[in-house]
Structure 1
Amino acid sequence: MNEMPVKDDKAAVEASDKALGRRSMLRTLGVAGAVAGVAALEVGRSTNADATTGDYLRIGYSQGAQNMTYLTNQVGSSVISNPLTSEPTLMWGDNRLSSLTNANGIRGDGKGPSGMGIWGNSDSGGVGVHGGGGIGVQAQGSRAALKLIPSGAAAVDRSDYHQTGEFIEDSSGNLWVCVGAGFPGSWRKLAGPASTGAFHVLPAAIRTYDSRSSDGALSGGSRTLTMSGVPNGSSAVTVSLTATGTSGPGYLALYKAGISYPGNSNLNWSASGTTIAVTTVCAVNASSQLVVRGAGGSTQVIIDVIGYYA
Structure 2
Amino acid sequence: MTSLPIIIDCDPGVDDAIALLLALASPKLDIRGVTVVCGNVPVSATSRNALQILELAGRSDIPVYAGCPRPLVVAPIYGQFHGVGGLGKTELPAPSHDVAPGHAVDFLIRQLEHALAADQQITICTLGPMTNIGVLLRMRPDLGPAIARIVSMGGAYREAGNRTMTSEFNMLADPHAASIVFSSDIPIVSISLDATHQVMATPERAQRFLPYKGRVGETVSAFLSHWDRNDPRRYGSRGGPMHDPLVTAFLIAPHLFETERARVFVEHSSPLCLGQTVADRYGKSGETPNVDIVTKVDAEGFFALLEEHLARYSPVEA
Q: TM-score, normalised by structure 1?
A: 0.22
Q: State the structure with more CA Rg.
A: 1
Larger helix share, 1 or 2: 2
Larger strand share, 1 or 2: 1
Question: Using CA pairs below 8 Å that are at least 6 residues apart, which structure has the higher relative contact order?
Answer: 2
Q: TM-score, normalised by structure 2?
A: 0.22
